[in-house]
Homo-oligomer: A and B are copies of this chain.
């Protein structure tokens, strides 16, 4: 539905709570009551927008990633698609702002938000798990810990990119991602013995 696309765009910009029926009706060239007839209430509208954004996110981030080869390549694909979606200010910002908005007001919207997010975190952890099974990640690593850290990096990215408009946000994000990945990867390039003052070139390159 084209209405939901418009609604999602507005909600991503102003927040789910600031999404107003009258404003949305004007944007879609519909009457307020005509638009309202499609949803029984504003809450249903918010839930529909959330579902729409989730479908978009699955289509543009998760599914493309699962088409990449299992293991680190898949995790990298997830990262890349995720960053692209966030950069364009699409669905992702909706989830970030909605999460901050509804983190303290109970109700169906919050519940759905929690479910969606838990599912996504589980997807990340699962992709990481296949990386362990493929022998690319350390077998003693905690997949949910990796999901937590990756998610934090992306939150920082959206923050720096959208609010601060830091032109180096992308570069910083990628560097943090590579560092985390390097920490979890199996068989890191062995450092030269006792090179505390002059760190291993591979590590230094990953950090500069």
Contact = CB atoms under 8 A, between A and B. Distances in A.
A5 interface: no
B175 A114 contact: no
Kindly report how many copies of this chain are found in the complex they form together: 2
A2 interface: no
Given A15-B101, A149-B176, A196 B190 contact: yes
Given A152-B153, A159-B155, A104 B117 contact: no
Contact of A149 (B15, B153, B196): B153
A105 B176 contact: no
Contacts of A195: 190
Interface stretch (A26-34, A36-44, A181-189): A181-189
Contacts of A154: 152
Interface residues of A, number: 64
A44 to B, nearest CB: 20
A160 interface: yes
A62 interface: no
A208 B140 contact: yes
Contact of A172 (B148, B155, B194): B148
Given A152-B176, A179-B183, A163 B199 contact: no
A103 B113 contact: no
Contacts of A160: 148
Nearest to A18: B17
Contact of A163 (B114, B186, B188): B114
A180 B152 CA distance: 12
Given A142-B207, A148-B172, A190-B193, 15 more contacts: A14-B17, A17-B18, A18-B101, A100-B100, A103-B162, A103-B163, A104-B162, A114-B164, A140-B199, A142-B208, A145-B207, A149-B156, A152-B156, A179-B180, A191-B191
